[in-house]
Amino acid sequence: MRNSSLYFRPALFAGLILAIVNFAPGLDLVNCFCCAGLFVGGVLAVLFFRMDVPKDYTIMNIDGFYLGLWTGIFGAGFETVLNITIGPYVADIKFQMIKNLLNRLLAGQQMPAGLMDQLSQAIAAAKRPGLADSLLSFFLIVIVYSVFTIFGALLTTAFIQKRRVTHQ
């Protein structure tokens, strides 16, 4: 039986990096590319784990699964805390970035009716997160983050296993 406490430190660091990338205005757009930021969180967890274990330790798929799962959970927790504490202060910055991006994408064309009103309402809601909204958001984020971080961790684990077999 593997020692499951080995997963926590790498997943904690990878989850923190993941949360910062997903929260930071502008940097959060990396997830527009097939949730690349979440995928990288799983990759980082496996790489950090590999640094923590002895060289003769064989990293298996189950390690990748648990690392991805814990990274998703920790990342969702960190991001929820960031959204509650700092989120209201950066909401206007994110709104302005989205507005500028839409203006550039539409290149002078008329914006769909009501789009700016919906964005304004979303930003206003982000400025006053309630406990129920934050908890619901946390549980939904845990699911999405875990799926993509598990995927990234499993692919990285498989890559490490393949390299190890070909180099022996």
Cα separation, 124 vs 118, whole angstroms: 10
Residue owning tokens 């298996």:
60
Q: What domain range is 127 assigned to?
A: 4-167
Using only the alpha carbons of the chain, give its radius of gyration: 19
Q: What is the pLDDT of residue 167?
A: 59
Cα separation, 97 vs 104, whole angstroms: 11
pLDDT in tens, 140-159: 999 999 999 999 999 999 99
Q: How sure is the predictor about 166, in pLDDT bands with cuts at 50, 70 and 90?
A: low
Q: Specify the pTM.
A: 0.81
Answer yes or no: is pLDDT of 8 > 80. Answer: yes
Q: What is the dihedral of CA 142, 35, 125, 85, to 10 degrees?
A: 60
Q: What is the pLDDT of residue 88?
A: 81
Answer yes or no: is pLDDT of 134 > 70. Answer: yes
Number of domains in the chain: 1
Q: What is the pLDDT of residue 1?
A: 45
The better pLDDT of the pair 9, 122 is held by: 9
Share of the chain above pLDDT 70, in %: 93
152 and 40 Cβ atoms separated by less than 8 Å: yes
In the DSSP assignment, the letter for residue 107 is T
